[in-house]
Structure 1
Amino acid sequence: MAEYIVHGDINCPFSYALHEMLCSQNLMHRVDWRMVEHDAIASSYQDSAENMAELANDIFTIRHRAPDITISLPQTLGNSLFPSLCITAVQLKHPDRATTFLRSLYRALWIKGKDISSPAVIYDCLEEAGLPIELDIDGLCEETLLYQQNEWEAHNPGLQTPTIQAQDGRRLAGLLDQKSVLDFLRGAEINQELSSRSRQQNQMTIAIYGDEKITELWGVLATLRDDSNLLLPQSMQALHDMLLSQERCPDLILLNNTGQQRDLNDLCRAISHQVREQRVPIAVIGPPISDAEEVELYELGIADYLIQTRAPDIIRARINLLLQLKSAHDMLSRAASIDALTQVYNRREFERYFETEWRRGQRSRQPISVILLDIDHFKAFNDNYGHLQGDHCLQQIASTIQASARRAQDLVCRYGGEEFVILLPETNQEGASVLAEQIRQNIVALNIPHAAAFAHQPVSASLGIATALPANRDLSPRQLLQDADSALYKAKHNGRNRVERLTS
């Protein structure tokens, strides 16, 4: 009986790296390697820039922690069910060849970049392992694989890296450096954070775009891995979607010059137009070019041209300088868009964001909603308690609204005086009504005492909602705001401390 159980996924780069590490140390005889899918939903990352970026980050992590292991980014991840069944069949019926076969499959994917769901690739790996091409995959193989999957899901919910389970109950998850793995196998307890991903949310993000030749840049890009999040959009559309996203918009775009100057110029021209509003800097990395060609790229809007043969530290330093400039610009931009008193966005930022989201709604054909909120009888509150208490009241209510509108794309702004506006992209009237009522109740729950004339109830707010489809060419952002204002007037007219709505 093996001393350790490992749950590994054929599509997991950490599993491949751990398998390589154990093989190189001749330790596989101590391990019962059980095939599972760490995340069945993410079994393929084709056409998904987010998943590809996650995978690229994982590969950079492996190269950092296990530099002796050869690994590359495959073009696609195929369905892992058939190869996992084949591995299970070999483990059950040809256990003496199982490690060799599994290693051949892992290397076919993570070194050669082959599609291991292809029968032809599997047959080649069977031949390399000295196994018969015709495998008998019966019901026992399927039952064994299902048992292992259920075992994995029961004990490792949400984890997307391999685990090593010792008979004495010790457990190691993910991939640490080789010394930590070997120490664990010698009986040591290893302190670790059980995390499947190493990406840090406070790092700035670089979107790297190019064709298949981008793999030639791995050596340079690896130097950026510890300082930045790396995204690898697989198409212009994927890059375009990133630039339109509030959450995923990169801080720097790094383009790979593949030698086609005209195509590169067209690409820079198109991207410069897209990033003009976000002010995302563009850099190009590639072979040396003429002064005239480089000047033309600067005229098209790029911020720097990096020679890929320069020392990696120089390239990293120049990229970090661009990121520092972007960070400084973002700080200035944020200062100009935030209301100093309430620390929510100001009216100027609302109008800018509203226009952007309206255009997005025209393309996506999704609804957009606006909530206008006015604090009830706020003048009386100010007159009774003074402006200092009035400011504190505004700050409390702004914080409550911000805490209630928790989606990343929702925008809370101080519209003026005691009036606030909440912009809700891709939100229908029902969704906006639920949020508005929640905000109203949360403000009442603050239990802020009102002026003497209204002492029978705490400070409250009236809210007006309007919803529209921007794809309807007869409507405009101004009309939607007017409708929200009319709904707010209706809420005040009908007694305040209530929500009313209109639909355009």
Structure 2
Amino acid sequence: MNIMLFVAITAIIIFGVPLAWTMTVAAIALALYLSFQLLNPNLEPGNAVAATLFFASGIVATVVARRTMTILAQKTFLLELRDRSRVAELADANARLERLARTDPLTGIANRRWMMETLNRLWSGGLNCRGCAMLMCDIDEFKKLNDHLGHAEGDRCLVKVAGIIQSSVNGERDHVARYGGEEFLVVLPGADEREAIATAERIRKSVEAASLPNPASRVGPYVTLSIGVANQPPDKEFISPEQLQNAADAALYLAKQAGRNCVSLHQPGEAGT
């Protein structure tokens, strides 16, 4: 009998027995102990009751210990759940901050800072050895669009142009960023001169075909792009990303001088090299 009771009490303490079952087992154990004590012919009733009370104190201590362990386990679980939730929230907040740090909030594409970091990383990885092209894209007469139609329409124009440029390049290889204001920088890793010009023309024609209104523009009634192209072949002298970008800027200036809504290729010896 004592062995059975010892096993029952040990099971209550060690295993996660619910409180209701703990009380049930405790009550059954106490009743059995009292019954066996009263039926024992060698014990007087007073001694049997005293022994039962002593046993009951042990049962009560067992129930209290089980209840305390249950409460502690629940608190531990809740604390772990809270900590996991906080870690997940922190990771999500960090991810949002990372996206904000590298994304232009208006257009949703990469910003200038992220593009510069990407260029430096690509150059460090040997991109200059494989060749690269840059396109500097500028919306023609954008200030007139803002002044005539309002800044809200100007913002919508920037968003649509950014989407057109993004959809006109190879998303798995190429990089597009809003460089500032109405300018966009496109990086084409591994592209040669022919591919760079073809990509620039595809972007320019797609923007023109979108027929986004710009009634005050001297170029035409719709939004157009001027694009400067600079290319570094893999067999030429290596230059820095800043130098290649300056070359694309110089080509863009020539496109503006040529009447806008066109693509201009940077030639060696021009300003910006």
Quote the Cα distance in structure 1 between the aligned partners of 2:131 and 2:91.
Answer: 32
Quote the Cα distance in structure 2 between the aligned partners of 1:472 and 1:418.
Answer: 31
Measured at CA, do residues 328 and 436 of structure 1 come closer, stay the same or move farther in structure 2, by a change above 3 Å? same
Other-structure match for 2:231: 467
Q: Which amino acid aligns with 1:334?
A: R
1:392 pairs with 2:129: no
Measured at CA, do residues 446 and 471 of structure 1 come closer, stay the same or move farther in structure 2, by a change above 3 Å? same
Aligned-residue offset at 1:469 = 4.3
Q: Which amino acid aligns with 1:349?
A: W
Other-structure match for 1:339: 104
Q: Tell me, which stretches of 5 or more residues in structure 1 are unaligned?
A: 1-320
Residue aligned with 1:383, SS: helix
Other-structure match for 1:356: 121
Q: Tell me, which stretches of 5 or more residues in structure 2 are unaligned?
A: 1-85, 269-273
Residue aligned with 1:365, SS: helix
- If each structure's helix is expressed as a fraction of its own residues, which one has the higher value? 2
Quote the Cα distance in structure 2 between the aligned partners of 1:468 and 1:322.
Answer: 45
1:467/1:503 contact within 8 Å kept:
no
Identity of aligned residues (%): 38
Aligned-residue offset at 1:330 = 3.7
User: Which structure has the greater CA radius of gyration?
Assistant: 2
Equivalent residue in structure 2 for 1:421, among 174, 180, 185: 185
Q: Which amino acid aligns with 2:135?
A: I
Measured at CA, do residues 431 and 384 of structure 1 come closer, stay the same or move farther in structure 2, by a change above 3 Å? same
Residue aligned with 2:253, SS: helix
2:140/2:261 contact within 8 Å kept:
yes
Per chain length, whose mean CA-contact separation is higher, i.e. which structure has more relative contact order (CA < 8 Å, sep 6+)? Answer: 2
What does 1:102-113 correspond to in 2, within 5 Å?
none
Aligned-residue offset at 1:404 = 0.9
1:444 pairs with 2:208: yes
Equivalent residue in structure 1 for 2:141, among 377, 380, 391: 377
What does 1:5-404 correspond to in 2, within 5 Å?
329-362=94-127, 365-404=129-168
Aligned-residue offset at 1:325 = 7.0
Other-structure match for 1:431: 195
Quote the Cα distance in structure 1 between the aligned partners of 2:130 and 2:219.
Answer: 43
Aligned-residue offset at 1:477 = 1.3
Quote the Cα distance in structure 2 between the aligned partners of 1:456 and 1:345.
Answer: 29
Q: Which amino acid aligns with 2:117?
A: R
Measured at CA, do residues 353 and 471 of structure 1 come closer, stay the same or move farther in structure 2, by a change above 3 Å? farther
1:367/1:468 contact within 8 Å kept:
yes
1:361/1:471 contact within 8 Å kept:
no
Residue aligned with 1:354, SS: helix
Give the TM-score of the pair, scaled to structure 2: 0.61
Task: Show CA shifts across 1:325-384 (max 9, x none).
Answer: 76654432112111111111110001000111122235x721111100000011111110
Measured at CA, do residues 385 and 359 of structure 1 come closer, stay the same or move farther in structure 2, by a change above 3 Å? same
Q: Tell me how many residue pairs correspond in the alignment.
A: 185
Task: Show CA shifts across 1:445-504 (max 9, x none).
Answer: 110121335384311010001011478565211110111001101111011100111256
Quote the Cα distance in structure 2 between the aligned partners of 1:323 and 1:435.
Answer: 41
2:230/2:247 contact within 8 Å kept:
yes
Task: Show CA shifts across 1:404-431 (max 9, x none).
Answer: 1133121111111111101111111111
Other-structure match for 2:11: none
Q: CA RMSD in A?
A: 2.7
Q: Which amino acid aligns with 1:459?
A: V
1:410/1:422 contact within 8 Å kept:
yes
Give the TM-score of the pair, scaled to structure 1: 0.34
Measured at CA, do residues 410 and 474 of structure 1 come closer, stay the same or move farther in structure 2, by a change above 3 Å? closer
Quote the Cα distance in structure 1 between the aligned partners of 2:121 and 2:110.
Answer: 15
Task: Name whichever of 326-335 and 444-453 sits farther off.
Answer: 326-335
Task: Show CA shifts across 1:196-220 (max 9, x none).
Answer: xxxxxxxxxxxxxxxxxxxxxxxxx
Quote the Cα distance in structure 1 between the aligned partners of 2:123 and 2:265.
Answer: 19
Task: Show CA shifts across 1:62-91 (max 9, x none).
Answer: xxxxxxxxxxxxxxxxxxxxxxxxxxxxxx
Residue aligned with 1:380, SS: helix
Residue aligned with 1:454, SS: coil
